[in-house]
Amino acid sequence: MANPFAGEVELVIDGEVRVLKLTLGALAELEAGLSSGTLVELVERFEGGAFSSRDVLALIVAGLRGGGWNGRSRDLMTAEIEGGAMQAARVAAQLLAKAFITPESEAV
């Protein structure tokens, strides 16, 4: 079960509940793999609703890696994600929010 206070989010992939988390290492790998821009630009794309499916997939892979998964993005190409693309996008946005929101800002 995911711990939201630790920045964790759940996603059901191929019927299995997975815990995703953007650790510092996962964020570094994510940024290195972005086809364009920085993490700040990625956050801006999500805030503006201008993100791509590639952005969503990159965040899901990074979150899975942060949660201990050893797969690659191509392993998800045929995976069944419960809730489909919309749920994947929600989880990606939640991961970004949890990675960059401090406990102090949540209390406001």
Per residue in 27-63, pLDDT (tens digit) is: 888 888 876 678 888 888 888 988 999 899 999 999 9
**How confident is residue 92, by pLDDT bands cut at 50, 70 and 90?**
very high
| ∠ CA 4-75-80, rounded to 5° | 65
What's the chain's average pLDDT?
88
For residue 15, tell me if it sits in a domain: yes
Number of domains making up the chain: 1
For residue 18, tell me if it sits in a domain: yes
The whole domain housing 53 covers 4-101
For residue 106, tell me if it sits in a domain: no
Q: What is the pLDDT of residue 1?
A: 83
| pTM > 0.75: yes or no | yes
Contacts of 1 (CB under 8 A, 6+ apart): 10, 17, 19
Angstrom distance (rounded) from CA 35 to CA 32? 8
For residue 87, tell me if it sits in a domain: yes
